[in-house]
Amino acid sequence: MITLLCGLGHVGSSVLIGLAGIAMGSAVASLQWFEGLRGGAAGWLLLGFGLAYMLWGIKKAVKGEKHSHTHSHGAPEHAHPHGEHASVTPWALFIIFILGPCEPLIPLLVYADLKGGMPPALAVAAVFSLVTLVTMMASVFLLLGGIRLFPAERMERYPHALAGFAVFACGVAVKAGL
């Protein structure tokens, strides 16, 4: 659910910027500047948040705190977490994905609008959004399936550090232009 919401924020903000570019017409260059700034900020946020989260996860693992999880006592409506406060991680990821770069979409939307008007631009936005969301969801599901192949008991103390490393690595990839 978190991946889907982050994906919706990611494509939604990009489509809005692209549609604003179409509405502004010749002022699209100013939007590409904003998109570049937005992409740079997202990379730095991924790096900073990932590094901080990884270091916090390492500190937590060294202190010997085990990962806790939600479970229910009988009925699903009684499900609740044990030993862990509400996490800001989903919100931080959502904000990062909203700021995340989708630079290829803006010129595609503008080109489609110039060639055929708003209907082709909306079709491009819909296809782009669908492909992006399917790719994000498939990547997460495949990764979750792959993680099950590893002995989880050994890594039980490190989920936060590993998640922080993954976010940090994404930041490195964004900043490196990969």
DSSP codes joined into one string, 29-88: HHHHHHHHHHHHHHHHHHHHHHHHHHHHHHHHHHTTPPP--EE-SSSGGG-EESS-PPPS
Within a domain: 169: yes
Domain of 50, in residue numbers: 2-66+83-176
Q: How far is CA 130 from CA 72, 127, 138, 142, in A?
A: 34, 5, 12, 18
Which tokens sit at 46? 């991924």
Within a domain: 72: no
- What's residue 34's pLDDT? 57
Kindly list the averaged pLDDT for each block of 10 residues, start to end, along the chain of length 178. Answer: 86 84 63 59 78 87 64 52 60 74 75 84 90 89 80 73 81 73
Within a domain: 73: no
- What's residue 126's pLDDT? 92
- What's residue 123's pLDDT? 92
Within a domain: 36: yes
- CA neighbor of 94 nearest in space, from 156, 31, 10: 10
Total of domains in the chain: 1
- What's residue 91's pLDDT? 77
Within a domain: 23: yes
Within a domain: 40: yes
Within a domain: 158: yes
Within a domain: 134: yes
- What's residue 132's pLDDT? 87
pTM equals 0.55
